[in-house]
Amino acid sequence: MAGMKCQLAIVGLGTAGAAAAAAAAGRGIDVIAVDSRPLEQTGASWLNGVPAWAFDMAGFERPVAPELRGTESRFHLLGGWGPERVRLEGPLEVDMRALTERLQLLAEGHGARLIGQTRVTGFDASGLDTTAGRIDAEVILDASGLTGINLLRHPSVARADLCVASQSVHAIASPEGAKAFVKDHGGELGDVICFSGVAGGYSIVNVRVEHDLETVSLLTGSIPASGVPGGVELNRRFREEHPWIGDTLSGGSRAIPLHRPWTRIARGRFASIGDAAGMVHSAHGSGIAMQMLAARLLADTLADGGNPWDYNVAWQRKWGGLLAGADLQRRFVQHLQPRTLRAMMRRGVMTPAMLQAPLQQRPPRPPPAALLRALPGLATMPRSVRAMVPTLARGEALMLHYRGYPSDPAKLATWSRRLARISGTVD
């Protein structure tokens, strides 16, 4: 493969890189993408919740079975181990192995050259050094994830901003036990039962028993830097306590970056996407929707004659504020105890009107009537909970601030200083 040339070189073929390859090749861009793993093993190997609207907006078909593993089912968000809860509509449950394969096939169908088992070992201003030779490209996209090549030299992510999550699918050893579990927690087969705040405010144990009682999906996650067990340990403990859960069929675990997106996701001919760019809706550690949307934006920008900086500006203006606001929500819930979460639910502070939009990765704009209804309950809560209202207001301020992301790089330092003041965080 010595001495290849292309318009767009992509490092990493997880969901982010595969979506970018598919979108860009679909717009007629000459793409070469490499991944250090075999192509059928790239990216995430678990099931992820993804809102349906993101597929539509990114211009990818919505998933169908077997890629689609669960529809927008009822989502019971319990405070701690319950019984207090808020009932919401969940996102689609999607098998990442199948989605990544679909995006890769789409990219190849549009003429992209995808190369597995090829590691990028270095880079300079014009291209990449790989274990299979040199690739020179007009634009180079870092889709190599949280621990990849870090083309843009982003700072390393603080441990306090890392969620360790685990997702697994298991056979059901005792259908009777599974049925009883769902019933005892006030749900029905196919519903998501999500226990929140069980290992620190930002933590979940999320259980979904399939209608056919053949399998159960488990999703666990927390921030271990706060001294709590991580997602892998939460998964193990939950299974130990629930012997109706049988053998592991699939799954995986990893850290998810929760900080707000990096302030700058392009420099010169380099750009980044996905976990490498910090493109995660950190209220629940979701990366897939945002990376598909970014892939579309990058493809359109380049196909219309733009450059990586134009992509950066367009992306920050369109999505940066939403994700920075989600990071504020994450920081807010991170300190809540299960008893506080339960009280918020009992007193009408945490309601579907407050939570549905963030779960679907929409701006958290509760209708004024819902806010008014929450106020009496809120007034009885400690100051740390009353901070919810200023958090929502700061989220709105962030959305506004990101809409004014400067097109002139020379103005970025001033813009970033104001961002740090509103968000309370620096890059």
Q: What is the Cα–Cα distance from 217 to 208, expressed in whole angstroms?
A: 5
- For residue 92, give the 3-state DSSP assignment: strand
The nearest distance, CB 371 to ligand FAD, in angstroms, is 28
Complex with ligand FAD: residue 29 or 283, whichever CB lies closer:
283
The nearest distance, CB 220 to ligand FAD, in angstroms, is 8
The nearest distance, CB 417 to ligand FAD, in angstroms, is 29
> What is the H or E stretch that residue 172 is in?
strand 162-172
Complex with ligand FAD: residue 364 or 377, whichever CB lies closer:
364
The nearest distance, CB 275 to ligand FAD, in angstroms, is 4
The nearest distance, CB 384 to ligand FAD, in angstroms, is 27
Which candidate, 383, 396, 388, 384, places its Cα nearest to that of 370?
Answer: 388
**133-142 vs 4-11, strand pairing mode:** parallel
Place of tokens 């009822």: 74
Phi and psi, residue 157, nearest 5° = -80, 130
Complex with ligand FAD: residue 120 or 198, whichever CB lies closer:
120
Residue nearest to ligand FAD (CB): 287
Complex with ligand FAD: residue 323 or 388, whichever CB lies closer:
323
How many Å separate Cα 350 from the centre of its chain? 22
Cβ atoms 117, 247 nearer than 8 A? no
Complex with ligand FAD: residue 4 or 143, whichever CB lies closer:
143
Complex with ligand FAD: residue 73 or 144, whichever CB lies closer:
144
Cβ atoms 141, 23 nearer than 8 A? no
Cβ atoms 388, 378 nearer than 8 A? yes
The nearest distance, CB 54 to ligand FAD, in angstroms, is 9
Complex with ligand FAD: residue 198 or 397, whichever CB lies closer:
198
**204-209 vs 215-222, strand pairing mode:** antiparallel
Complex with ligand FAD: residue 32 or 178, whichever CB lies closer:
32
The nearest distance, CB 400 to ligand FAD, in angstroms, is 26
- Residue 409 has which token pair? 């790089």
Residues near ligand FAD (CB under 6 A): 11-17, 34-37, 42-44, 46, 48-50, 119-120, 143-145, 148-149, 165-167, 219, 253-254, 256, 274-276, 280, 285-289, 291
The nearest distance, CB 369 to ligand FAD, in angstroms, is 30
Peptide bond into 175 cis (omega under 30): no
DSSP 341: H
DSSP 281: B
Q: What is the Cα–Cα distance from 105 to 47, expressed in whole angstroms?
A: 19
In sequence order, what are the residues at sequence separation of 6 or more whose Cβ sits closer than 8 angstroms to the Cβ of residue 421? none
